Structure 1
């Protein structure tokens, strides 16, 4: 059930060039939010811009009733949001279908891989919070990729949850020189039983191809453009495989943004 929340901003910081984290108080939202879901946020205090912006839920502290978002400035709306250092933020959510974190995943033999590319790491932190609460962090392998070292996000926060990780950068400034998918390809034969991923489309396409070839299930969070956030405008329609063969369209804002890796048509 989506809520309309007026949350007081309690924290604001720039975590990387052009990437901001904002935390606000929203106890009811913190209670019902699930990893992989997103929020529809009014970026300014007025009605300009008119449309809200969809931003994934980055972190949740249910005990303190706090919700965090981590986002990259990509246009006027997110630029305005990045300037919101205090006051009240108008939020609708949680929206969409998130990651499945039930026992059917956590009880699988083998390890779980969590793969993030660039700002795609943002919703994965909430997922890692839930996995740490429900299972054994030692079973989870975290792979993060970015263009360069200064764009690797939330490394320390993930380590504080008890996880170890491998890093990849395009320029080799930290970790493996190359794509994060190359790290995943090497990891899959080592007993990986499930994969969660979020990042740019080329990365997710490669992840899905690797999982299909290896016969390993997983879920991917698509970075689709969303306007209304509630399934009315169809701007975020994406192709998925139909049960009887062929393809059909699903709305990422309602039926996703998280989809089984084997269902997405690239």
Structure 2
């Protein structure tokens, strides 16, 4: 009940919310006049423009004036430090936005040529039993889903628009892979005229050279999900196709760690002024 939520809020410095979309705003509204701070792992506080949220999630946004920031640690660290509400970034979005951000920020790509083709392990669908996620259906199988309609599309568009200053529309296609955890995102974009491979290398180095949780595998590298499994790392590499004048960025994360709980802890550490690696600098599991 809301009485319980208020009691928890009065007794807490931070509240983490892990509810289906539409429910976190009720909690946020109930706690808005208390000093408690909030990290929401769902979508309710991820959008600057609540009409975008309403269009994609099909529920009314009941807390549009909430003081919130987008919780993608490496890109919005300064805003996260003092935020009342942090809308923890989604899993596909974390992998894809981190892959595209350096290029968008340095204006190296035409932002309206972006195609994101991503694959996720089945844990991304949650724990509710569904026939499609049943082992005999899933195993030895590979398919796309929600083509042109996946709810992480506007989240990627929002971040690229924000970083580049240019209105952005993308194509995003998610796929389900027969593995329990991990995301590999392959992002394509046309380079602007005159952009050389060195510009691209420099943009990634400038953006992430000092980031602990982003490991740059460089131009020509190949991230893989097993190398980030069970960790908060995001591995990124890029390839330049001189023939088509496109850049192809590859990004791998564990959808349950950097794509969810680990990112929430990283945001919490930033917001509390703790060492960002606290509780997160364990060794990935391989294999």
TM-score range, shorter chain: 0.3 to 0.5
The TM-score normalised by the length of structure 2 is 0.33
The TM-score normalised by the length of structure 1 is 0.34
Higher helix share: 2
